[in-house]
Amino acid sequence: MTEKFAAVEIIAAKRDHGSLSDAQIDWVIDAYVRGVVADEQMSALLMAILLNGMNNQEVARWTDAMLRSGERLSWTELDRPTVDKHSTGGVGDKITLPLAPLVAACGAAVPQLSGRGLGHTGGTLDKMESIPGWRASLSNAEMLSVLKQCGAVICAAGSGLAPADKKLYALRDVTATVEAIPLIASSIMSKKIAEGTSALVLDVKTGNGAFMSDPNRAKELATVMVALGKAAGVKTRALVTAMDQPLGLTAGNALEVRESIEVLQGGGPRDVVDLTLLLAREMLELAGVHGKDPERALHDGSAMDIWRKMVRAQGGDPDAPLPKAREVHHVLSKESGTISSMHALKVGVAAWRLGAGRSRQGEKVQSGAGVEIHKKPGEKIQAGEPLFTLHTDEPERFERALDSISDAVAISKDGSIAAHLPLVVDRIS
């Protein structure tokens, strides 16, 4: 077969600040999936994109080419509109767990295809897999069955969805090209559009614990993704939300499941409840569902009923005890005062070092590992009181976790609190 283009010409065009044509983008994505474009050639092109950017047309076409590399799911058999949420991830971000059953309890269907964690940001599938028996991998028919039964499904994306992205994602991870906004946006949106949802709310995190720590960059990413969703016929909006301190009081897999269940029981930390309700209302409005109020669904048990049904439908036992780490270590405050600030990234790195996260794809995580937070900014603490409890199966991990978390908290004597981001930093609709 004679190829339409040569990879080296496309690399040179982007290296020299040129714009790639639709035909060039279509070919290079397809040729990379076929193995005609080698990893080293695609690595060079990704670096050129990182350094020189892409215009809106290029990003849209790149996303579309990745989308067309695989299948696109359809939920037309459902008797209710579909809506999904995607978060760019952070420390203690367990929002998907209470949110999916909550939105389902209010009348929409939520096909939530999720991923695993890498580094300090936790993965939804890793959290769910701490529930005994729960299964992440479902066929398309099984996904549809769970959605019909429960109104929500949380599972892994199948191999047929945007296969080009799977290859590119792994390559970006080892070539220092993860941070390019066109590549992040196209990666997320090709999968979300392929998922077949009719409406999508994006939760783009910003702050020291987020992938996009600069709010301006986070807004830029959110704006690009909203445009891509709308161009593909998906009703899309984005919230830029705070990740300069951990969400809730836990970071770690089973620890976060436990906290999510507290939210579904009508309790839980205020920040987790507030963000869950905020996103639920955005999702329901975008899907055009005006039934039950999400706050009532948290308190009357209907969201919890959906959670239990959904867990069972995927082989899990909602009544089984969650895994606990074999070892714990309490980090005590050295002084009295008011918690002024808490550095999300340092808490996340500590949880990762305890075994809650992975350093490379495929690595096994500890279900019970992580960090429990006893005081948050604005709260008073006495010397000798616990700040954190560290959980792990391997006590030799404590030392490195303590290196990260030892200076994660600032304490003020005069009751002052450091400036922090509002829960919602920006909104792009």
Q: Which residues are tagged catalytic?
A: 86, 165, 172, 187, 191
Q: Quote the CA–CA distance of 412 and 216 in Å, as a whole number.
A: 29
DSSP 184-221: HHHHHHHHHHHTT-SEEEEEEEESTTSSB-SHHHHHHH
Q: Quote the CA–CA distance of 46 and 43 in Å, as a whole number.
A: 5
Q: At what angle do helices 96-105 and 270-287 cross, to 10 degrees?
A: 50
Asked whether the CA dihedral 199, 181, 251, 410 is positive or negative, the reply is negative
Closest CA to 356 of 89, 120, 95, 93: 120
Backbone angles phi, psi at 7, to 5 degrees: -55, -40
How many CB atoms are located within 10 Å of the residue 40 CB?
A: 10
DSSP 78-144: SSS-BEEEEE---TT--THHHHHHHHHHTT-BEEEEE---BTTB--HHHHHTTSTT------HHHHH
Alpha helices in 288-340 (DSSP H): 294-299, 302-313
Q: Quote the CA–CA distance of 25 and 397 in Å, as a whole number.
A: 45
**How many whole angstroms from its chain centre is CA 311?**
20
Q: Quote the CA–CA distance of 33 and 389 in Å, as a whole number.
A: 46
Q: Quote the CA–CA distance of 98 and 119 in Å, as a whole number.
A: 23
Q: Quote the CA–CA distance of 224 and 125 in Å, as a whole number.
A: 26
